[in-house]
Copies of this chain bind each other. A is one copy, B any other.
Amino acid sequence: MNSGNKITINDVAKAAGVSKGTVDRVLHNRGEVSERSREKILHVIEELGYTPNFYASILASRKNFNISCIIPEFNNGEFWALTEKGIDSGREYAGRFGIGVSAVMYDQYDIDSFQSACESVLASEPSGVVIAPMFRNETLKFAKELTEMDVPYVYIDSKLEEDGYLAYYGMPMYQSGYLCADILTDGRPVDKIHVIRIERDKRGLSDPTITRRTGFLDYIAEHYPDCKVENTFLDPKDKASRYRVLDGLFAGDPEPVKYIVMCNSRVHFVADYLRDRNIRTCRVVGFDVLERNLSALREGFVQALIAQHSDKQAAAAITAITDYLIMHTVPSKKDNYTQMDILNRYNCDYYL
């Protein structure tokens, strides 16, 4: 790794009594070397403690690596925007090695768009890919093709159960729900909790936060078995409808609404409502540092946010592939679980 050492490929060649061309051949396993030479060279390398200077290597081999990132498309201020920032900083790192990084987006509610994203990436013959998977079977198929083409890939956000990937960077979803419940209840008994969810209209797509919600519910069941949990569904595209539903919730419930949680990044839907109705009597907890969530946190309409550095995940993914491509190193850990950050009004301004 350290290029500060002095012994070069020339030293090795000399010591082994061959030319550097031959040394290079064994270094890169491109055959055509007699067993005798190979062994001799390997031995000398070992003995001298030779490590290649990959700056010289990069310079000499004008290869053209490129990394593709496949993530859901998004609007400004949404969850995946942060991931894209991470891609940007990953791109800067990779760029230093002359490696290009491109992002291709898909509609997370549309399998076809995911498939065509994968196809177009495959067609571009990437040197490596990072992928935030949403569709299980399609991803599995894609992963298999990548493996066959011998291109390394790393998962971010979530991963599948196959294990051909180079690395994974994501949040421990179950634990994040568990933690969230502790933060919401403040470790004290609670009578009733309202879980606000998003209507997933199209084609019964799987809910990516189901594992998190399970963690949340498990905590409640374990600590406060008597606590009631009520689900309420909001339409992400229809503000008026959301207000109607929430009005119903606040008016209709015999006991006042006190504890509210959302297991996805849209807690600002609730915060907006509370702000407009000037309701400050709820304890509200949600996830992720969208700008709108942060505002709600600062203004006191949300008490806490569980956050993760999803930008770092993307950046780490790109770094991992870059290092793999350039210096053939694999990440020290294959599965990397991001820390879960607890944000409140007093520490949120120092986040990001």
Residues of A near any B CB (own CB < 8 A)? 1-4, 53-56, 58-59, 92, 95-100, 172, 175, 178-179, 182, 186, 337-342, 344, 346-347, 350-352
Contact = CB atoms under 8 A, between A and B. Distances in A.
Given A172-B350, A350-B337, A1 B95 contact: yes
B3 A97 contact: yes
A65 to B, nearest CB: 9
Contact of A339 (B175, B178, B338, B341): B341
Given A1-B95, A186-B186, A339-B347, 12 more contacts: A1-B92, A2-B92, A2-B98, A3-B96, A3-B97, A55-B59, A56-B59, A175-B346, A175-B350, A179-B344, A179-B346, A337-B350
A54 B58 CA distance: 11
Contacts of A2: 92, 95-96, 98
Contacts of A186: 186
A182 B96 contact: no
A92 B51 CA distance: 14
Contact of A1 (B96, B99, B182): B96
Contacts of A53: 59
A302 to B, nearest CB: 14
Contact of A58 (B55, B92, B341): B55
A341 B309 CA distance: 12
17 contacts: A1-B96, A2-B92, A2-B98, A3-B97, A53-B59, A172-B350, A175-B346, A175-B350, A178-B346, A182-B346, A338-B350, A339-B341, A339-B347, A339-B350, A339-B351, A340-B350, A342-B347
Given A58-B55, A59-B59, A339-B351, A99 B4 contact: yes
Contacts of A182: 344, 346
A136 to B, nearest CB: 25
Nearest to A92: B1
Given A341-B339, A350-B337, A95 B4 contact: yes
Q: Which of A54, A97, A186, A342: most chain B CB closer than 10 A?
A: A342
A347 B351 contact: no
Contacts of A99: 4
Contacts of A100: 4
A303 B351 CA distance: 22
A165 B102 CA distance: 36
Contacts of A350: 172, 175, 337-340
A54 B98 CA distance: 11
A352 B340 CA distance: 11
Contacts of A352: 339
Contacts of A178: 346
A345 to B, nearest CB: 8
Contacts of A92: 1-2
A95 B351 CA distance: 30
